[in-house]
Structure 1
Amino acid sequence: MKGFQINIADTLRSSVYFADDYDSFVLKNESLEIAVEGLILNKAPLLKANNTSDFPTLFEKFYKEKKINAIQKLEGEFRGYIWDKSEEKLYVFTNPTATQRVFYSKEKDRVFVDSHLVRLNQTLRETQIRTTPNITNLYQLLAFGNMLENETPVENVYKILDGHYLEIDLKTQVIVQKTYFDLENITYFQGSKEEAIENLNSIFSENIAFEYEKDNELNAKHFTLLSGGLDSRMGLLTAVELGYKPDEAFCFSQSGYLDETISRKIAADYHIPYRFQSLDGGIYLKYIDKLTDLSEGCGLFTGGIHVQYAFENLNPIDFKIVHSGSIGDGILGGFNTAPRRQKPGEFKIVVNKRFLPKVRSAFDEIRNLYESEELFYLRNVAYNRTVLGAQVIQQYAYQTSPFMSQKMLELAISLPEKWKINQKLYLEWLNQYLPNAANYTWEKTGMRPDAQWKSTFGPKVLKRIFKIWNSKITRQTERTSMYPYEFYYYNSRDIQDYYQSYFAGNLWRLENYPELKTDVEFLFSQKDFYQKSQAVNILAIFKLFFN
């Protein structure tokens, strides 16, 4: 495991396990210990602006000038800590999107911090501290597909929220979580829609340049994901327009599905080398323990198993960054269910209504903290669910997205909901600044994204007809999804037997939790694969953490 861990009792003990091929560093002197791990996209511009080549010393200078707010200067995939010995304080931080996770716990007179929940749980147990499951949070996993806010499956262990840091007083061991990147108080954009689209395109292009120049800095090839969606093609085609032609585009899906046919066509038209990984057969559905370990029990393992299979079959791994379009659709309309600001509901978050009553009180309490559904879904769907794929990819390289910079997030949140809903503004941006992106079918709609009406008509009518045609008429169920797990499960006796054996062999782990055990048995008895996998997921979490 990479990352770092810190144990605080009478003294502070830290250990770092950084790779040496990105921007990670440790700086130690009499007054400070600074450790930063990750990929700093704007490292070169910061060095140039300050006329230096020594980044650790530059960051120390930033800290002396701005204290912990120095981390506001960083863009990218990073996490770390600053031990200010003169103030007797420890600051621990994650990046603005919390894609670089950090966990913590306070047990009696000790504080534990770790970039890996599994390792933190192991440390607690080795310190003779008994760890127990947080049953409410496990029901959140069943109801929502992931845990909300800063929760984990382990009682009294929490995650640092996106754009936050911990301030730990080493004299008193008081822990306070504070914000350094805040979207809650963003005011509405004051200019015209045309100006907003111009700003959007400018920031997006700047972010693409940062990412691809980082490849050059690392002396690495340009490697990008490409699917049938809009986000990935916007990134690829903008890179081409800026003179950063990708060296390779990578797609993974069921063979013959729209993701393959669309992405293959785009790559061919722009003469970009193309690699495709078929997900046919679903043998990777057996990666239960592997993906539970990677998700650390905070999200359903099925959200990342196909990504694991795709990347473990890549050979060679000759890149340092995986360019993606992650969360673009979400921040530009996907997280809006009404053309106005409103509090969050259940529509975008609930995946299994059966368990909603068991978490209703906590859910309502969390929802009431938000005036904007968009911010709720950004944290609890994008950051707490969607990013599992990025965490899988990080075994091989850092994943980046031009939609996840601070400037992009601030702009997107400031735009009026009536502009963004149903991807209205997104499509205007695409057709105005990158009209060639509309030459290809949009997987979400089954139509080209060259008119606004298609963004609602396609999913509601055309894609439904397409799904019915393949599942009911031609019986080609495998063609209804990028990765049709249900089809794979019921067409493989080997996979069915594996799940049955896993369930039977691990159900005993819930003996002390009879209500949860009954619910897990019910889930596994259901016909659909999704509920069966939820049951197995709970057992895998107990196997990983508790017994």
Structure 2
Amino acid sequence: MAGIYGLLSKKKVFGDNLYQHFYSYKKPGIVSEEHADELFTYGRSALSKFSKDRFLEQVNDHLVIGFEGVTYSAKPEDFQKFFLREYQKNGISFIEDIKGQFCGFVYDKREKKLFIFTDHLSTKPLYFYINKEKEVAFFSSELKVISKSLRDAGLSITPDPDGFRCLLTCGYMLDNLTPVKEIKKLPYGTITSVSLDSFEVDEKKYFSIKKTERKADKSEFIKGINERMVVAVENEWNKDLQYSYEHFTLLSGGLDSRVNAMLGAQCTKGKIHSLTFSKPKTPDEKIAKQIAEDLGFNHNFIPMNSGDYLSGNEYDFVKANDGLVGYYGAAHQQYAIQQANLMGKGLIHSGQIGDVLFGSFTFKENDVEALLGKLFFSPDKQISSKIELLRKMKNDEFNGADAEVFSLEQRQINGTMNGDRACSHLGDSASPFYDKDLLSYCLSIPDMYKYKQAIYLDWMNECQTQLASFNWAATEAKPSNNPVHKTLAFKNRLKNYVARKIGFESKNMNPFEQWYLENQKLRDSIDGIYQKRDLGSLDKELKNDIEYTFEKKSVIPKMLAITAILSYRLHFLE
């Protein structure tokens, strides 16, 4: 991935040009640089696009500022001045009002503070290491930049069993965990300050995902959704126009990507390029092609034939997401976007997390612990019962917790959004469903309107009818709450469920089980990594858990075990 870093150290124990440890280093379209101000070293290996939104700047002899990402809060030519003015006027708290996908820092010697921050969903995450004894504070957009630099400097790091067991069961990290015990993820919607004298850390949470249901009838909620959705889409697509970029959007047969693509097409006269990637001849390919042709997009389809793209590329996919999530989850998107020509194109528009805002994790039975099977990619109590953080979460949070909130805070932020991170060296990803106002509004809608995404479908059919004029891949019927369409949808879901149970996934966008059974090259690649595994300093029980997971019949646990093996290699061996 691409991003920024900063190192505060009172002793010279680290090397120079730490940007060389980024996955993005030496890749096309990347700017790499490093600067120093006495005890503080800072740099980046970041995209050259949206160059006026992202900056590293030593303002004067006591202040350094850095911003990585894109913002909708000011015109590009004014943003750096806006950032500095707001900080000098209001202090670091102004960050909570910035809109966009971003992370950044402020190094202020007068205040004797180093501030680091992420946006409200941590769409561009930061990882940090604090060692008071050695007087070192280190943050980076990429975990490996820190783990590699610490090892090179002779500072010890240790595997975190919780982090590795999260990989084996959840398929992603929980909360601020990483595979390295000494390095944590900055929580979403948080500003962290580090004292330049004592290296004491203070965290301020400026945004929390919580449900506060408001009283209104369904028609009012539908109107509110439409108003906020249109603004969120316009913010995204106007960002491309500010830089005279052409538009680039992902498109599938699902609902969320079409929302962004089709509403985006209404607010621009710019050229739109669309990309679909899936197994050939699936509803995803067919429906996306129909939408693209109808709207006049320059459409491209990348076939995922037999899973060949996964064979031999496992370690590269793990490096692209820092070994923090099952590599297979983002591999198809990374592989496909790498085939596209993004020169002269702006944001990577997508429909990430849209279904979650509108009910895909809203259940009438809302016991989080009972629903972990739906929230984890490979649930296994034999392993998950050993995750200390999960036991604590059960004691502290599960009582009365909400599956929708848990999904957003854990599975989406720490899992789904890693698809964005894996492509951050290729382009800045954006989704209208990341918008803070839209997100908060959707969390205020009573559950009774969101079951089975009912209000989402009603909004489309009442406010944006063009969205409902094409079939939905999940049901192979037009999206609607009409009883006839519901019956068709139920029959199609039942048919697909039976097909999956007997090992036939022909309509699945990425049928991993089928690919593993039919593709000898893929099996050999996965099995070869396992046979050559080097788990060095991992304790025996954790090694046994990795081996136990790999030996399961299903391919998903096997790929999660491979992720754990390669994550260990990335952070502790190379």
- Pair in the same fold by TM > 0.5: yes
* 1:357 maps to 2:375: no
Q: Does 1:209 align with 2:258?
A: no
CA gap of 1:375–1:8, structure 2 versus 1, over 3 A, is: same
Q: Is the 8 A contact 2:361 2:403 kept in 1?
A: yes
When residues 370 and 43 of structure 1 are mapped into structure 2, their CA distance, relative to the original with a 3 A threshold, is: farther
Contact 1:94 1:164 in 2 (8 A): yes
SS of the residue aligned with 2:434? coil
Alignment correspondent of 2:330: 304
1:489 aligns with: 516
Cα distance in 2 for residues equivalent to 1:259 and 1:140: 31
Task: Tell me the CA shift for residue 387 of structure 1.
Answer: 0.8
2:251 corresponds to 1:226 = yes
Per the alignment, in what secondary structure is the counterpart of residue 397 of structure 1? coil
CA displacement at 1:407 relative to structure 2: 0.8
Match of 1:131 among 150, 157, 160: 157
Which stretch shifts more, 245-254 or 213-222? 245-254
How far the C-alpha of 1:54 sits from its partner, in A, is 3.4
200 and 545 in structure 1: CA distance in 2 versus 1, 3 angstrom threshold: same
Whether the 8 Å contact between 1:138 and 1:538 is mirrored in structure 2 is yes
Q: Distance in 1 between matches of 2:478 and 2:531?
A: 48
Q: How does 1:467-546 map to 2 (within 5 A)?
A: 468=498, 477=504, 479-506=506-533, 508-510=534-536, 512-546=538-572
The answer to whether structure 1 residue 30 and structure 2 residue 54 are counterparts is no
Q: What letter matches 2:108 in structure 1?
A: D
Give the Cα–Cα distance (whole angstroms) in 1 for the partners of residues 49 and 295 of structure 2. 31
Q: Which structure would you say has the larger RCO, counting Cα contacts within 8 Å and 6 or more residues apart? A: 2
Q: Which residue of 2 aligns with 1:395?
A: 425
Q: Which residue of 2 aligns with 1:111?
A: 137
1:187 aligns with 2:212: yes
Match of 1:42 in 2: 73
Aligned to 2:4: 4
Indicate the residue corresponding to 1:148 in structure 2: 174
Q: Does 1:332 align with 2:358?
A: yes
Partner deviation per Cα, 1:107-144 (whole Å, 9 max, x = no partner): 23322211210010011112211111101221112121
Shift of 1:43: 2.5
**What is the match of residue 50 of structure 1?**
none
Matches within 5 A, 1:64-143: 64-107=88-131, 108=133, 109-143=135-169
1:199 is matched with which residue? 224
Instruction: List gaps (5 residues or longer) in structure 2.
Output: 11-37
Taking structure 2 as the reference length, what is the TM-score of the superposition?
0.87
Find the aligned partners of 1:404 and 1:453 in 2 and give their Cα distance: 31
Q: Is the 8 A contact 2:289 2:299 kept in 1?
A: yes
Distance 1:453 1:514, change over 3 A: farther
Q: What secondary structure, in the 3-state scheme, does the structure 1 residue paired with 2:197 have?
A: coil
Structure 2 residue 322 is matched with structure 1 residue 292: no
Paired position in structure 2 for 1:280? 305
CA shift at 1:335, angstroms?
2.3
Q: Which moved more, 1:520-529 or 1:140-149?
A: 520-529
Give the share of equivalent positions with the same residue, in percent.
26
- In structure 1, the residue matched to 2:87 is 63
Deviation per CA, 1:199-258, whole angstroms, max 9, x where unpaired?
A: 211111111111111111111111111111111111222223334565221110000111
In structure 1, C-alpha distance between the alignment counterparts of 2:202 and 2:521, rounded to whole Å: 50
- In 1: Cα distance, 2:335 partner to 2:72 partner: 28
Q: CA RMSD in A?
A: 2.4
From the superposition, tell whether residues 471 and 479 of structure 1 become closer, same or farther in structure 2 (CA, over 3 Å): farther
The aligned amino acid for 1:9 is S
Give a deviation string over 1:307-354, Cα, whole Å, max 9, x none: 122112223544121111111110111221128898884243233332
Aligned partner of residue 377 in structure 1, secondary structure: helix
Per-residue CA distance 1:149-197 (angstroms, 9 max, x = gap): 111010121001111121112121111221122333x632243322221
Paired letter, 1:412: C
Contact 1:445 1:454 in 2 (8 A): no
Change (3 A) 1:321 1:84: same
Q: Given the superposition, is the C-alpha separation of residues 161 and 492 from structure 1 closer, same or farther in structure 2, using an over 3 Å criterion?
A: same
Shift of residue 34, structure 1, vs aligned partner: 1.1
Match of residue 339, structure 2, among 313, 319, 322: 313
- The structural deviation recorded for 1:9 is 3.1
Whole-angstrom CA distance in 2 between matches of 1:331 and 1:378 = 9
Residue deviations 1:455-512 (CA, integer Å, cap 9, x gap): 875665422314545885xx8x351310112222222222222222211112x32465
Show structure 1 runs of 5+ residues with no match: 48-52
Aligned equivalent of 1:376: 406
Q: Give the Cα separation in 1 of the matches to 2:423 and 2:461.
A: 31
| Helix, strand or coil at the partner of 1:353 | coil
User: Which of 379, 382, 385 is the matching residue for 2:415?
Assistant: 385
Instruction: Return the letter of the residue paired with 2:8.
Output: I
Partner SS state of residue 538, structure 1: helix
Name the CA distance, whole Å, in 2 between partners of 1:483 and 1:78: 30
User: Does the aligned pair in 2 maintain the 1:431–1:450 contact within 8 Å?
Assistant: yes
Letter in 2 for 1:530: I
Instruction: Between 445-454 and 15-24, report the one with greater CA deviation.
Output: 445-454
Question: 203, 212, 218: which one pairs with 1:177?
Answer: 203
Which residue does the alignment assign to 1:15?
Answer: 42
The whole-number CA distance in structure 2 between the counterparts of 1:455 and 1:319 is 38
Q: TM-score, normalised by structure 1?
A: 0.92
Find the aligned partners of 1:368 and 1:179 in 2 and give their Cα distance.
Answer: 21
Question: Are 1:447 and 1:454, in contact at CA under 8 Å, matched by a contact in 2?
Answer: no
Following TM superposition, the consecutive aligned residue runs of length 4 or more in structure 1 with deviations greater than 6 angstroms are 339-344
Measured after TM superposition, the shift of residue 4 of structure 1 is 2.4
Using a 3 Å threshold, how does the CA distance of structure 1 residues 297 and 363 change in structure 2: closer, same or farther?
farther
Distance 1:384 1:244, change over 3 A: farther
State the alpha-carbon separation in 1 of the partners of residues 526 and 371 from structure 2. 34
